[in-house]
Every structure is written in structure tokens, then in C-alpha cells.
Amino acid sequence: MFQSIWDDVKREFGYGNMVTRIIIINVAVFVVIHLVNFGIFLYYGGSPEKSYPVFQHFLHLFCMSSDWRFLLTHPWGLFTSMFLHEGFWHILWNMLFLYWFGRIVGDFIGNQRVLPIYLLGGLAGAVLFFISANLLNYGGGSVFALGASAGVMAIVVAAGAISPDYLMRLILLGDVKLKYIVGVLVLLDVIGIGNNINTGGHFAHLGGAFFGWLFIYQLRNGADWALPANNILDGIARFFRRLFTGELQRQGPKVAYRNPSRERVQRERESRRGKAASDNSPYHSHQEQLDAILDKIKESGYESLSEEEKEFLFNASKK
């Protein structure tokens, strides 16, 4: 059974669109961290009082922190945090919104732009979270952020900016234009900040939302921010592909040495080039070359001939 599930996941990841791949990565990370949580729980004899703080410390290693000192020593948190979820409902709603709105983005502006919007939107959310947490100090100290919400909000707002009149069918409400759905979601984040509910998370959502709108605005003006992002991602992917296949180790350093017969090789090379130039001469046959030389003698005299032409004429006279 597990082999069949693994084969299905590999097939979907290999042949699915980018939205499917992002969802698979998020779910896989969710499963892994909770397996780690389960292992820590067993290690401490089933005591939540002992195991939970250890698990939280492990989780924070991959979160986005408002402490600049922690961020300097854990810079990967800028990116790992946007694939990290602790609660089931947190990841469920994020993945549902990513699936619904990510397909719209992929269909309208291309599958290759989904991941850059998600990553750059998540990065924009992390930056706004960091700035707001340090300016407003709403956490009373160092706070941590995790989840795909900022990247998902970038996708959501990008979908609304692309096609505001696109109709989505909602339960109990029927067909609703995309611009109203996006507007309500952004408004809920503003209300959450005003009521001091998950303040850092809502600031991150707004950062991602702003980037989603800005990305589409720039795209309409001819600036595709997905191109440099995809170039960087392709370079990283090629590096790790070469690393894991052993290509980097096989290349090794190049050794420079002096060839003792370099001059001889150079002379042979020049000789071959001279021969090739002779073969590419404008004379296409022996008779044509002879006639051309005789015409040249008639017009300019024998002394006008080159050494090669004189030698050719001498050899031709003996035939």
C-alpha cells in the first residue's frame, strides 16, 4: 500500500502542474514534522509537558523570526517558513486556496509564474512581518511566523488582478465575481490586525497580497519578475542535480601543463591551414589554373608571378 502511495506521489510531482507540486511539498513537510513530534513525544515517555517545548524549539529552527540576531544565524527561515504548518486546519485552508486560485493564475499567465509568485509573495510577507513586529512590538518580544499564507495570498490577489470578473461558485452564495472574494479576504486581514488576532500573520498576509497585485501590475507593463526568479531556481536545481549525480566531483580541478612538442604541433597545424587555403583557391582545376597563369604573364609579364605560381608553371612544363 505504501509503495503504491509513494508511486502516485512521484507521478503527480513529476507530471502535475506547479500548484500540485507546491501542495505536495507542503503536505510532505507537514507529515515529516509531525512524525518528528511523535518521536519526541515517545522519547520523553509520553509526557506533553516535556516533549512539546522540545518540539517547539525544533519547529522554530525553520520559522521566520522577528529577532534579527536569530534571523542572521537562521537565514533559511525566510523560505522554509512558507512550507511549514503546525495545525491541520491551517494547512488545509492554505492548500485549498492555493488549489482554487493557483489554477486560475496558471491558466491565465502560465504555469511557470506560479512558483515565483508564491515564493516572492511569501518573502514579501516575511519582510512585512519582520518590520511590523519590530516597530509595533505586538508580540511582547521575539515572535515566530510559519505557514504558506503569505505566498497563497499573493496567488489569490494575483488571480483577482488578472481576471476580476471571473466567476467562482460558492456554497450557499452561488456565482460570485473573483474581485469580491479577494476584497473580502483582504478585509478580513485588516480586521484581524485591528482586533489584535494573529497580528503578525495578518501583516504577512497583506505583504503577500500587495506583492501579488504588484506582480500583475508589472507584468502588464512588460516587466516579468518571474524570469529572473526562474533563472535562479533553475541554477539551484542544476547545482543540486550535478551534486547528487556526482558530476561536480568528477569534474575536479583542471591541471595545466606544457606540451614539449608544442612548436611541432603548431607547425603542422599551420601547414594544414595552408593546404586548406590552397584547396580553397579560386582555381577549380589544373587547366584553369594554368590558363590563369598564362593570361597573367601575357598581361603583366613573368616577374609578376608569385613563387607558388612560378613553381606550378615549372612543374606543368615537365608534364
What percentage of residues in the chain have a pLDDT greater than 90? 59
Residues 204-229 have a mean pLDDT of: 94
- The residues that bridge with 170 in the sheet, in sequence order, are 174
Give CA–CA dist 270/281, Å, rounded.
17
Give the pLDDT score at 277: 43
Pick the most confident of 40-54, 134-148, 235-249.
Answer: 40-54
282: DSSP letter: S
Tell me how far apart the alpha carbons of residues 47 and 41 are, in angstroms, rounded to a whole number: 7
Residue, of 292 and 143, whose pLDDT is higher = 143
pLDDT value of position 226: 93
Cell of 59: 519547529
Strands (E), 21-73: 64-65
User: What is the C-alpha to C-alpha distance for residues 75 and 68, in angstroms, rounded to an integer?
Assistant: 10
Looking at residue 129, its amino acid is F
Per residue in 62-111, pLDDT tens? 999 999 999 999 999 999 999 999 999 999 999 999 999 999 999 999 99
Q: Is the pLDDT of residue 171 over 70?
A: yes
Hey, what amino acid is at 213? Answer: W
Predicted local distance difference test score (pLDDT) of residue 238: 87
Q: How far is CA 57 from CA 40, 47, 52, 89, 91, in A?
A: 11, 16, 9, 22, 20
Residue range 170-182: average pLDDT?
A: 91
Weakest mean pLDDT among 16-20, 169-173, 219-223 = 169-173
**Tens digits of residue pLDDT in 9-36:** 888 887 788 999 999 999 999 999 999 9
Domains of the chain: 2-224 (1.20.1540.10), 262-317 (no CATH)
167-170 and 144-145 as β-strands: parallel, antiparallel, unpaired? unpaired
| Neighbouring-strand partners of residue 167 | 177
Q: How far apart are CA 125 and CA 151, in angstroms?
A: 8
* Mean pLDDT of the residues in the chain: 85
Cα 166 to Cα 173: distance, rounded to the nearest angstrom: 15
Distance CA 152, CA 207 (A): 11
Among 115, 102, 112, 88, residue whose Cα is nearest residue 31: 88
Beta carbons of 105 and 155 less than 8 angstroms apart: yes
Which comes out higher in pLDDT, residue 93 or 315? Answer: 93
pLDDT in tens, 275-294: 444 444 444 566 777 778 77
pLDDT of residue 84: 95
Q: What is the pTM of this model?
A: 0.74
pLDDT of res. 248 = 61
For residue 177, list its beta bridge partners: 167
HEC letters along 141-203: CCCEECCCHHHHHHHHHHHHHHCCCCEEEECCCEEEEHHHHHHHHHHHHHHHHHCCCCHHHHH
User: How crowded is the C-beta side of 91, counted as CA atoms within 13 Å?
Assistant: 20
Closest-CA residue to 160 (of 140, 136, 184): 184
